[in-house]
A and B are shown apart, each in its own frame.
Chain A
């Protein structure tokens, strides 16, 4: 009796199957056939997202030893640890596409892959920790919630875990700011100053305007991305304005105004020249962030070497 044989599917059949899966809004899973551009685009996106989480530990990490109370310190430590975890979930998802996580880290350190521009700004006062939680993590939530439905299964599942934890990040930041706003005039001024510095960079987190974002169309056609940059940015502004009012701070945009007809907020022009400067490596902290990441890799190499030596010794 001979074993049944199955004809190897042609490239066209594989492509058709992939297209049908996307069209049915089903998820693509790691061992599925996928177009090379889909795989490469995802590795790039997920790796850069992972790098952002890892580099994102630094601005707030700077305040761990200067937190104003044990409670704030415990909260901040938990938050920074979460960011590390988010990076790990994402590297794990990138690896299901054939990427190697140590290679990805090397590429980050060597400047061959990037991370979000927002983390190249300094945290000058403790109010910055609150504003990062409220505005920066708020923008991240806006971006990440739709990614929970991304067409690539492992990415979507990583995003679900991340989003569950991100809510804590935003709320602890907002609560920190509310506490400061109930404090002295000096503390209120610190909060306003932090808002003034972080508002525009957080709007830039959504990327260039739609008419200037060439990769978006393909990414949306593949279901990797679900909403356009401008759509998400508008949603973020609409959510943030009432939060700012409740907090008692002024968002630094004289053109910010409610459009009665649409119920949405109009806002001023974003300084894309600054954005381009920061993302090209000329932001206030680009060099510091990468230097520290490199030191973490190299100075702690002995720990991984020791663990490997221990494992080898006990394996035999």
Chain B
């Protein structure tokens, strides 16, 4: 086996081996402009069945809100995975910092008295 094989390929992703060597450039600048490039990114949420919350399932690009709903149906509910879909432009979402040490969530950390297990109840007291 040649050494170049080693440098050029590796098993990546579910569908198998692909070249990963230095001859495969990455990060080059895009060269072509298309209309589709400008389609906004939508985050999609699906209610699996009545009684459940909508849950984030992924994202897609669409030219407008209505097309985003149609595309989300085709992409995320091909097997009856949902009874309702929400889509929202990703740019309209405001998020907290992802860091788990973020001070945003610190105030809840030392308030153990907000949890039922903080309170000791004798075992002979029923239904509590």
**Contacts from A to B (Cβ < 8 Å):** 4, 6, 17, 29-32, 40, 43-46, 48-50, 52-53, 56, 78, 81-82, 85, 88-90, 92-93, 95-96, 100-103, 106-107, 110, 112-119, 136, 139-141, 143-144, 147, 157-159, 161-162, 165-166, 204-209, 212-216, 219, 225, 229, 232, 272, 275-276, 279-280, 301, 304-305, 307-308, 310-311, 314-315
Mark out the residues of chain B between 29 and 85 whose CB falls within 8 Å of any chain A CB in the assembled complex: 30-32, 34-39, 41, 57-61, 63-64, 67, 74-75, 78-79
Chain A residues within 8 Å of B15, by CB: 49, 52-53, 56, 115-116, 118-119, 136, 140, 143, 205
Interface string of B17-32 (1 = CB under 8 A from A): 1111000111110111
The 10 sampled A-B contact pairs (Cβ below 8 Å) are A46-B13, A52-B13, A93-B58, A100-B30, A106-B32, A141-B14, A143-B16, A219-B12, A276-B5, A280-B8
Residue of A nearest to B37 (CB): A102
Closest 10 CB pairs of A and B: A49-B13, A207-B11, A205-B16, A144-B14, A52-B15, A207-B17, A311-B63, A311-B64, A31-B98, A116-B16
Output the least CB separation between A225 and chain B (Å): 8
CA distance A301 to B37 in the complex (A): 11
Q: Nearest CB to that of B5 among chain A residues?
A: A276
Give the shortest distance, in Å, between A132 (CB) and chain B (any CB): 11
Instruction: Give the CA-CA distance A310 to B70 in the complex, in Å.
Output: 15
Q: Collect the chain A residues with CB atoms within 8 Å of residue B34's CB.
A: 102, 301, 304
Interface of A is mostly: helix
A46 CB, nearest partner CB in chain B, Å: 7
Residues of B close to A116: CB separation below 8 A: 13, 15-18
Of chain B, the residue at the smallest CB distance from A213 is B10
Closest A residue to B65 using CB positions: A311
B103 close to chain A: CB less than 8 A: yes
Contacting residue for A162 out of B14, B28, B103, CB 8 A: B14
Partner of B12, one of A30, A32, A40, A207: A207
Smallest CB-CB separation from A297: which chain B residue? B34
Identify the B interface with A (CB < 8 A).
1-2, 4-20, 24-28, 30-32, 34-39, 41, 57-61, 63-64, 67, 74-75, 78-79, 95, 97-99, 101, 103
Most buried by A among B25, B32, B58, B103: B58
Does B95 lie within 8 Å of A31, measured CB to CB? yes
| C-alpha gap A25/B103 in the complex (Å) | 23
Contact present for A301 and B35 (CB under 8 Å): yes
Give bound CA distance, A112 to B19, whole Å.
10
Given the known inter-chain contacts A4-B103, A305-B35, please indicate yes or no for A118 contacting B1, CB distance below 8 A: no
Given that A49-B13, A81-B78, A114-B19 are known contacts, is A214 also in contact with B27, CB under 8 Å in the complex? no
Q: Determine the distance from Cα of A78 to Cα of B74 in the docked complex, in whole angstroms.
A: 11
B63→A308 contact, CB < 8 A: yes
A295-B15 Cα distance, complex, nearest whole Å: 23
- Closest B-chain residue to A82, C-beta based? B78
**Minimum distance in angstroms from A240 CB to a CB of chain B:** 15
